[in-house]
């Protein structure tokens, strides 16, 4: 029994712009493999009939049949007489890309816990926790002490905040998801950066958004002219942005661009969901910036500030938050129950103790990220001279590397087969763009970074060879 099916049009939408230099049957099967590896389509679901998919994609049936055969041969599909083709994951693969069993994890750009976590795990914390045993132990708004600590954190950064403007969430991912569900109606246009944080794209799509993007590049940052004309033309309901430090490019928006951004959003009546989960990850940036809303005090668009303890303190605590008006928070709280009931009290007690020390923690992070950035830059210059590491990377989680050739998918699939788990460039776009890019997390300890990049250097020539050998083959499978 299969668990469900995916129709030809739904699969076409998921595939995005999958065509590249490789022959169509290969590019198609590679993109389906990636969707499976990224969890964007599940294993054990019925694929569309060959004829239906061929019509939806404007291909010959022979090409789709060849793509399905290639998926079967690699273990990503099975077919039984009379019951069509069903997606699968090869037995050798782990279901989720979690490090362990000798796997190298370049998928998660996250740091281990701050050293200060051990310090606060003391009797005082346990005493406070014991006092909670007579309560239900979780709450859907956030503990008053934590909301106060978060409000103080914003105030100290130049954005005066009252605890009533804070809603505590299960990490910022849940905040992004809930805010999208509260604000976006099916079919609404939502603006986001291209590339952007993939789980935000997924959350926005879940809410029914039609996503429009404008570019952010490693060299030039935000294309403000394109952004302004897109806001003017499409009047997006919501804009989802990461001004510090943009994931995956690591860019930080200039003060002037922030002003232009807010003016464009205001003129288009667009609500801004600003994701500042990575804002504390400054390595050696020349200029620091207050939270985005500090520029709009007394006017401007409605802004929801989304942030989290995950990047500075520890992702394992799963504490995030939204700063917004109490009326907006009530709207968000109203959609909460169906997906994310509440946040556990224990983790909130921990974050309440650590948040006031976040500047001290930022120092620790600075050293870790500097070591990761420098190790990745050196290893790439030495081992992968075709690749371009960003000339300036002064903060954030990752380096958005240019491979110099549209081979991201090929390389990622080869790396997966050798136990190195990494997200391909197209995962960071809405339409399959970014085949020339790869996100290298600088959060990984230098020795693992080196090890992973050595493996990629070993695989890189074969990614090239596969692509060119297959181009010779192009035309034989039409
Ligand atoms: C930009 C950005 N926003 C949000 C998140 C979600 O993190 P969390 O739910 O742990 O706060 C991440 C995680 O990598 C991220 O990179």
Q: Which atom of ligand 1 is nearest to the CA of 397?
A: 16
Residue 457 Cα, ligand 1 centroid: separation in angstroms?
29
Q: Kindly report the protein residue whose alpha carbon is nearest to atom 3 of ligand 1.
A: 277
Residue 172 Cα, ligand 1 centroid: separation in angstroms?
6
Task: Provide residues with CB under 6 Å of ligand 1.
Answer: 109, 171-173, 197, 242, 247, 275, 277-278, 308, 310, 315, 320
Contact 389, 74 (CB under 8 A): no
Give pTM, 2 decimals.
0.85
Phi-psi region of 82 (alpha: psi -120 to 50; beta: other; left: phi over 0): left
Give the per-residue pLDDT at 14.
Answer: 85
Q: Which atom of ligand 1 is nearest to the CA of 278?
A: 1
Neighbours of 315 (CB within 10 A): 19
Residue 30 Cα, ligand 1 centroid: separation in angstroms?
27
> How far is 345 from 353, CA to CA, in rounded Å?
13
> How far is 385 from 131, CA to CA, in rounded Å?
58
Q: Which atom of ligand 1 is nearest to the CA of 242?
A: 1
pLDDT in tens, the chain (478 residues): 456 889 999 899 888 888 877 889 998 998 888 888 776 787 788 999 999 999 999 999 999 999 999 999 888 899 877 778 998 877 544 333 335 567 889 999 999 999 999 999 999 999 999 999 999 999 999 999 999 999 999 999 999 999 999 999 999 999 999 999 999 999 999 999 999 999 999 999 999 999 999 999 999 999 999 999 999 999 999 999 999 999 999 999 999 999 999 999 999 999 999 999 999 999 999 889 999 999 987 889 999 999 999 999 999 999 999 999 999 999 999 999 888 889 999 999 999 999 999 999 999 999 999 999 999 999 999 999 999 999 999 999 999 999 999 899 889 989 988 899 999 999 999 877 899 999 999 999 999 999 999 999 999 998 876 555 444 333 222 2
Residue 273 Cα, ligand 1 centroid: separation in angstroms?
14
Give, as one character, the DSSP assignment of residue 293: G
- Token pair of 338 as six digits: 């169906």
Residue 462 Cα, ligand 1 centroid: separation in angstroms?
33
Task: Dihedral sign for Cα 220, 222, 223, 225, please.
Answer: negative
Q: What is the pLDDT of residues 233-274, one digit of tens each?
A: 999 999 999 999 999 999 999 999 999 999 999 999 999 999
Q: Which atom of ligand 1 is nearest to the CA of 109?
A: 14
């Amino acid at each position: 029994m299969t668990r469900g099916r995916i129709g030809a049009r739904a699969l076409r939408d998921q595939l995005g712009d999958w065509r590249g230099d490789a022959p169509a049957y290969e590019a198609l099967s590679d993109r389906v493999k990636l969707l499976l590896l990224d969890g964007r389509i599940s294993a054990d679901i019925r694929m569309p009939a060959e004829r239906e998919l061929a019509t939806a994609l404007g291909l010959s049936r022979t090409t789709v049949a060849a793509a399905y055969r290639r998926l079967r041969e690699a273990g990503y599909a099975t077919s039984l007489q009379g019951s069509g083709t069903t997606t699968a994951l090869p037995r050798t693969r782990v279901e989720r890309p979690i490090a362990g069993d000798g796997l190298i994890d370049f998928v998660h750009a996250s740091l281990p816990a701050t050293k200060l976590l051990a310090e606060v795990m003391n009797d005082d914390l346990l005493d406070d926790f014991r006092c909670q045993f007579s309560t239900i132990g979780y709450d859907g708004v956030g503990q008053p002490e934590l909301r106060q600590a978060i409000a103080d954190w914003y105030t100290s950064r130049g954005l005066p905040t009252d605890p009533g403007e804070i809603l505590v969430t299960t990490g910022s991912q849940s905040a992004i998801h809930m805010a999208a569900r509260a604000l976006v109606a099916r079919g609404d246009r939502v603006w986001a950066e291209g590339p952007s944080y993939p789980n935000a794209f997924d959350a926005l799509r879940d809410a029914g958004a039609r996503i429009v993007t404008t570019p952010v590049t490693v060299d030039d940052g935000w294309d403000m002219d394109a952004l302004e004309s897109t806001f003017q033309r499409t009047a997006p309901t919501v804009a989802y942005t990461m001004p510090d430090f943009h994931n995956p490019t690591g860019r930080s928006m200039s003060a002037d661009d922030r002003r232009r951004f807010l003016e464009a959003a205001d003129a288009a009546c667009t609500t801004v969901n600003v994701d500042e989960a990575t804002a504390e990850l400054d390595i050696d940036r020349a200029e620091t910036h207050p939270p985005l809303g500090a520029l709009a005090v007394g006017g401007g668009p409605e802004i929801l500030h989304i942030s989290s303890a995950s990047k500075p303190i520890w992702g394992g605590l799963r504490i995030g938050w939204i700063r917004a008006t109490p009326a907006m928070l009530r709207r968000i709280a109203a959609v909460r129950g169906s997906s994310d009931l509440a946040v556990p009290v224990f983790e909130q007690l921990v974050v309440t103790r650590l948040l006031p020390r976040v500047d001290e923690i930022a120092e620790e992070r600075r050293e870790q990220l500097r070591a990761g950035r420098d190790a990745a830059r050196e290893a790439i210059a030495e081992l992968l001279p075709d690749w371009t590491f960003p000339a300036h990377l002064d903060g954030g989680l990752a380096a958005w590397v240019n491979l110099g050739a549209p081979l991201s998918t090929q390389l990622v699939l080869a790396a997966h087969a050798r136990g190195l788990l990494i997200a391909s460039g197209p995962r960071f776009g809405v339409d399959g763009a970014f085949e020339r890019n790869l996100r290298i997390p600088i959060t990984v300890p230098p020795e693992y970074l080196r090890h992973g990049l050595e493996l990629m250097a070993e695989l890189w020539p074969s990614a090239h060879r596969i692509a060119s050998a297959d181009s010779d083959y192009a035309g034989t499978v039409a």
